[in-house]
Amino acid sequence: NAGVTQTPKFQVLKTGQSMTLQCAQDMNHEYMSWYRQDPGMGLRLIHYSVGAGITDQGEVPNGYNVSRSTTEDFPLRLLSAAPSQTSVYFCASRDRTSGGLNTGELFFGEGSRLTVL
Amino acid sequence: AQSVSQHNHHVILSEAASLELGCNYSYGGTVNLFWYVQYPGQHLQLLLKYFSGDPLVKGIKGFEAEFIKSKFSFNLRKPSVQWSDTAEYFCAVNRQTGANNLFFGTGTRLTVIP
């Protein structure tokens, strides 16, 4: 299984440019999410989705958009990149809850390192 | 608001030393607790998790963690570290019901000296 696949792995943008980070999973997971990782701050949740057609904001959603048209894909869009968005971005997915309780682990992609100049 | 605290930012140990990394959380309701590891240049991988039952959980590579509900803690331990344990370790918490989003601590960087 490929698991969670992110592209691109590296990207350099200029301030004001837009781009999309792609995320795809082949595990038929309902829940998908995007995190950013910054030194000394751990991972912070940007957006998440509990199923196709459903998205919601996490801790740090400003400057990012998401959509979930299929179960497999969960792209993250930067509309107008800013230097503060320089970070490593991780996509993660999880299986549905079992018996109403979520006990599942998150499966992470390998990350996308974004630099905004 | 929920929070996860990891008080050790950087820990340096010699091989064969014992390891304990602290994790405290502030979270209402019934929670799941996780430790993830990130080796240099790699993505996060699950070390172990607790959601019910025996509060002492064992994970991969000889790691274990103990959930102490009264202290809101979930400390990670390993009796004897190896050079290959050099990595960053993240504690994470989520609720068992509701949105279930996973919240992470700021991480502890472990350096093991051969």
Confidence of residue A33 (pLDDT cuts 50, 70, 90): very high
CA B97 to chain A, closest CA, distance in angstroms equals 5
Q: What is the pLDDT of residue B30?
A: 83
Compare A16 and A30 and report the one with higher pLDDT: A16
Q: What is the pLDDT of residue B94?
A: 87
CA B29 to chain A, closest CA, distance in angstroms equals 12
- Bridge-based pairing state of the strands B24-26 and A76-78: unpaired
Confidence of residue B85 (pLDDT cuts 50, 70, 90): very high
Confidence of residue B28 (pLDDT cuts 50, 70, 90): confident
User: Is the CB of residue B45 less than 8 Å away from at least one CB of chain A?
Assistant: yes
Average pLDDT over residues A65-80: 96
The vertex-A62 CA angle with B1 and A78, nearest 5°, equals 140
Average pLDDT over residues A50-72: 95
Average pLDDT over residues A73-86: 97
Compare A99 and A59 and report the one with higher pLDDT: A59
* Chain B CA closest to residue A38: B106
Quote the tokens at residue B92.
């994470």
In a 13 Å sphere around the CA of A68, the CA atoms on its Cβ side amount to 21
Residues of A in contact with B96 (CB under 8 A): 101-103
Query: Which of A31, A100, A108 shows the shortest C-beta gap to B43?
Result: A108
In chain B, residues 68-107 whose CB comes closer than 8 Å to chain A = 90, 94-97, 99-107
pLDDT at A83 over 90: yes
Q: What percentage of residues in chain B have a pLDDT greater than 90?
A: 75
Q: What is the pLDDT of residue A62?
A: 96
How many contacts does A have with B, using Cβ atoms within 8 A?
Answer: 60
User: Is the CB of residue B109 less than 8 Å away from at least one CB of chain A?
Assistant: no
Q: What is the pLDDT of residue B21?
A: 97
Identify the top-confidence range among A76-85, B89-98, B100-109: A76-85
Average pLDDT over residues B5-19: 95
Average pLDDT over residues B53-67: 94
In angstroms, rounded to a whole number, what is the distance separating the alpha carbons of residues B52 and B60? 18
Q: What percentage of residues in chain A have a pLDDT greater than 90?
A: 77
Confidence of residue B51 (pLDDT cuts 50, 70, 90): confident
